[in-house]
Amino acid sequence: MLAAGRRWGKTSLGVTLCLRTALERGRTWWVAPTFPLAQIGWRVCKRLSRKIPGVEIREADRLVILPSRGEIQVKSADNPDSLRGAGLDGVVIDETAYAKEEAWSESLRPALTDRRGWALFISTPNGLNWFHGLYQRAQQLPGWQAWQCPTWENPRIARDELDLARQQEGELVFRQEFGAEFLDFGTLKPFRPEWIRYAGRDGEPEPPAGLIVEAGFDPAISQRDTAARSALVIAGQARDPLHRGRLFVLEGIAGHWSVWEQADHILKAVPRRSIRTVRIEDVAYQKALKDILDREARTRGLHVHIELVKPDMDKLRRANAWSPLVEDGTVLFGPGQQDLIDSMLAIPHDATKWDLVDAAGLGLRGFPALEASRTRLPGSAVSTPERAESYALRGRGLPLHTAITWEKYGGTRPPDLRRRAQGYTGKRPG
Ligand SMILES: Nc1ncnc2c1ncn2[C@@H]1O[C@H](COP(=O)(O)OP(=O)(O)OP(=O)(O)O)[C@@H](O)[C@H]1O
Ligand SMILES: [Mg+2]
């Protein structure tokens, strides 16, 4: 069992071990959770095995046959039927934490029994799911071994790249994805009190003129539901050179409102704050709310874009997607935000406090990252155009002109992870 950070060298190690067994005439499989991930392994597999004279590469079967007659076949675990078969000398399950447990228990484990083959489970942790359970058991079971290896063990990964990832992704995600730590995201708080910074205090600026103002709205499912409130959070992003990219939370209000009251609160806020876009979580009856809003806006002569946003992850992951923006000081809170701030600090333990947090996430996560804002962090390197460019496609960085939707906007993770997440959304817990 190997829990290792991103870019540690997991895939390379797995393929290398398969090659070693195949060179000794063994039959091995290299298994990835999905077809696209298997393709990554297949490319590594071809690259490494091409160096061996007399090797036969069968593209259609994703099969490498060595002169010893040993072989490596690349498989994807999203098709369990393709994992049937027996007589393996070794198997690597890459990114195990994102694969289904049945792939191991029902298909791969039986395939190893007759030849007493080995198995290597190799993954970046993904919360406390079955990979974690297996990792725990491996520490006690005879014949098993468990290793935990953070990304920084790989000498080829530059220190400043890691520092930047730490800053961009926030502490929790960094600890899991790079530190290879098993974290219980279900109990960890996404926000800390010491991160909260206020506009116009402690040297922080007041909201400058020319903010691009947007809002997030989280409607309560039913008015009878006494716990959940509907919540509206309004935020502006600075575009002037001095404050470029900083986010000012201007207003956060919540209440037990009927659908008409919801529409009224939103539409009264539009001229008050010059709101350009309102993002509303796209579930069930919110389509009706959009219709009401569009009609009412026309009647009142207001120009506002109402955008329905598909909820992309569970609440906690959504909060963790923007908590780095609070942690690194991009987000500043205006006066009168105590309700929102208390809510941010109360979740996930107090499940009644999600309304304002969710609305704030809808409001804040839609803004593009503007890199200039990060240069002001004490001790951080001044961002060069090259670096800005290299990160432009990563994480929150998206071109300004792009209309942001949850589909296009995967939170704070770099694209490789985003692709990964897309492939596994169905498999992630929650
Ligand atoms: N033993 C090694 N010696 C030198 N370079 C290595 C070694 N192992 C891996 N690398 C290099 O480190 C980088 C990451 O390797 P690899 O893709 O195997 O890591 P990974 O942990 O699977 O990454 P990811 O999290 O993206 O899946 C690659 O550029 C690879 O060539
Ligand atoms: Mg890999």
pLDDT at 412 over 60: no
| Eight-class DSSP state of 29 | E
Q: Are residues 19 and 165 in the same domain?
A: yes
Q: Enumerate residues 6+ apart whose C-beta is below 8 A from 137.
A: 144
Task: Give mean pLDDT, residues 285-304.
Answer: 88
Query: Could you say which of 333, 364, 395 is where a domain stops?
Result: 364
At 340, list the tokens: 């929102």
CATH of the domain at 346: 3.30.420.240
What pLDDT digit, counting tens, does each position of 237-260 carry?
A: 999 999 999 999 999 999 999 888
- d(Cα 339, Cα 251) in Å, to the nearest integer? 10
Nearest-CA residue for ligand 1 atom 25 is 6
* Ligand 1 atom 6 nearest Cα: 9
How does residue 223 score in pLDDT terms, banded at 50, 70 and 90?
low
Q: What is the dihedral of CA 174, 180, 182, 183, to 10 degrees?
A: 0
Q: Is residue 295 part of a domain?
A: yes
Q: Are residues 61 and 166 in the same domain?
A: yes
410 with 351, same domain: the answer is: no
Per-residue pLDDT, averaged over 281-298, amounts to 84
Calculate mean pLDDT across residues 38-60: 95
Q: Say whether pLDDT at 397 is over 50.
A: no
pTM for this model (two decimals): 0.65
Could you give the C-alpha distances from 399 to 19, 142, 328, 389, in angstroms and in order? 42, 53, 21, 11
Give the count of domains, the chain: 3
Residue 382 has pLDDT above 60, yes or no: no
Residue 85 lies in a domain: yes
Whether 144 and 233 map to the same domain: the answer is no
Question: Would you state the pLDDT for residue 224?
Answer: 58
Task: Tell me if 269 is assigned to some domain.
Answer: yes
Is residue 335 located within the same domain as residue 400? no
Pocket of ligand 1 from Cβ distances under 6 Å:
4, 6-12, 154, 156, 416
Boundary of a domain, candidates 118, 141, 175: 175
Domain membership flag for residue 191:
no
Q: Whose CA is nearest to atom 10 of ligand 1?
A: 9
Choice from 154, 178, 424 to test ligand 1 binding pocket (greatest atom count within 8 A of CB) = 154
Is the domain of 302 the same as that of 401? no
**Ligand nearest to the CA of residue 10, numbered in listed order:** 1
Per-residue confidence (pLDDT) for residue 134, from 0 to 100: 95
Q: What pLDDT does residue 185 have?
A: 76
> Which of the four pLDDT bands, split at 50, 70 and 90, describes residue 270?
very high
User: What are the start-end ranges of the E strands in 69-222?
Assistant: 71-76, 90-94, 118-123, 147-149, 212-218
Spacing, Cα 34 to ligand 1 middle (Å) = 19
**29-36 mean pLDDT:** 94
pLDDT for res 404: 30
Average pLDDT for the chain: 84
Q: Does residue 93 sit in the same domain as residue 42?
A: yes
Report the CATH number that the domain containing residue 99 is assigned in CATH: 3.40.50.300
- The confidence band for 227, taking pLDDT boundaries of 50, 70 and 90, is low
Ligand 1 centre and the CA of 12: distance in Å?
5
Largest Cα separation within the chain, whole Å, is 78
Ligand 1 atom closest to the CA of 12, numbered from 1:
18
- Tell me, yes or no, whether 36 lies in a domain: yes
Cα 354 to Cα 323: distance, rounded to the nearest angstrom? 14
pLDDT-wise least confident of 144-148, 168-172, 220-224, 258-262: 220-224
Structure tokens at 40: 């990554």
pLDDT at 5: 95
- The domain in which residue 283 lies consists of 200-364
Residue 185 lies in a domain: no
CA–centroid distance, residue 43 to ligand 2 (Å): 11
Per-residue model confidence (pLDDT) at position 226: 64
What pLDDT, on the 0 to 100 scale, is given for residue 380? 38
Residue nearest to atom 8 of ligand 1 (CA): 9
Determine the pLDDT at residue 222: 61
Within this chain, do residues 114 and 17 fall inside the same structural domain, yes or no?
A: yes
**40-54, 83-97, 159-173, 353-367: least confidently modelled range:** 159-173
Average pLDDT for 341-351: 92
Sheet arrangement for strand 275-281: 305-309, 275-281, 212-218, 230-237, 247-255, 331-333
Centre of ligand 1 from the C-alpha of residue 366, in Å: 33
Looking at the predicted structure, is the pLDDT value of residue 200 above 60? yes
DSSP string, 40-59: HHHHHHHHHHTTSTT-EEET
* pLDDT at residue number 225: 57
- In a domain? residue 9: yes
Residues 6 or more apart whose CB falls under 8 angstroms from that of 116 comprise none
**Over 60: is that where the pLDDT of 418 sits?**
no
For residues 395 and 262, membership in a common domain is answered with no
Percentage of the chain surpassing pLDDT 90? Answer: 65
* Residue 195 resides in a domain: no
Q: Are residues 68 and 157 in the same domain?
A: yes
pLDDT of amino acid 130: 94
Least confident of 153-167, 304-318, 376-390: 376-390
- Assess whether 228 and 171 both reside in one domain: no
Nearest ligand 1 atom to alpha carbon 416: 26
- 48 & 159 share domain: yes
